[in-house]
Amino acid sequence: MVNIQNLSLTFGDQTLFERINLSLHKKEWVSLLGSSGVGKSTLLRLIAGINTPGSIQGQINVEPNVRIAWLPQKDTLYPWLSIVDNVQLYAVLYGKKSSKTIEQAKLLLDKVGMFSHLHKACSQLSGGQRQRVALARTLMQNADLILLDEPFSALDAISRHQLQNLAYELLQEKSVLLVTHDPQEALRLSQRILVLRSLHPNKSATLSAPLIPTGKAPRKFDQANLWELQQHLLQTLSAKEAG
């Protein structure tokens, strides 16, 4: 679906990351781990085709007619719009709102457990509820590839766990690239995990070899091997160049 070849991004005389090679396949959930500032969100922006400053080398090849949607960490709901209109935002912005899009938005809100809150203003929703609305809006786009940029990181533990399960259930037929700081989240949800890391403060970041957890997602952490993999990921994230 997406094939990235030898991708490098440079700002002035500083290279953020270099020689990134990554393929994203249909109906696969891939997680990308890395420390703050290493370039994870920037890589998502490049895949999404969002204009990004800097000098870009390499290629990002996306199959024809592949539609891409983005779910960011902040829900970016418009407070002056109703919950339904936030879900059908594309139709609202482009004058395509209709009884059909309204019903579709309500159906998706029902799927994410928000139908009983339709009468509320966005300001009355909790953080978890706002992310549920944002997830419904992402589903409304009917995209093939979903880019998730730490969408659960600001939530409390219970809401985060619930939203992880819900997102996995609703996105099973999609391709997903999840950026996260949380090794446990990556292990619960992913078929493949990669770490974007710099082995030295003054060197550019590169991708690690993939880690492939066994078992069906979303996984429960009652398996000893998952704790071992989590420790391995933590060591990979904190690894430094010798000397």
Chain segment 81-112, per-residue pLDDT in tens: 999 999 999 999 999 999 999 999 999 999 99
Which residues make Cβ contacts (< 8 Å) with residue 171, sequence separation at least 6?
Answer: 29, 146
| Complete domains list, the chain, with CATH | 2-238 (3.40.50.300)
Whole-number Å distance between alpha carbons of 191 and 183: 13
- Across the chain, what does the average pLDDT equal? 91
CA dist 190 and 211 (Å) reads 10
pTM for the whole structure = 0.92
Tell me the pLDDT tens digit for each residue of 150-194: 998 888 889 899 999 999 999 999 999 999 999 999 999 999 999
Q: Residue 187 corresponds to which tokens in the numbers above?
A: 């292990």
Structure tokens at 214: 């066994």
CB distance 35 to 60 below 8 Å:
no
pLDDT tens-place string over residues 106-145: 999 999 999 999 999 999 999 999 999 999 999 999 999 9
Nearest-angstrom CA–CA distance, 142 and 47: 17
| Beta strand spans in 151-230 (E) | 175-180, 192-197, 206-207
Taking only the tens place, the pLDDT of each residue in 39-67 is 999 999 999 998 888 899 999 999 999 99
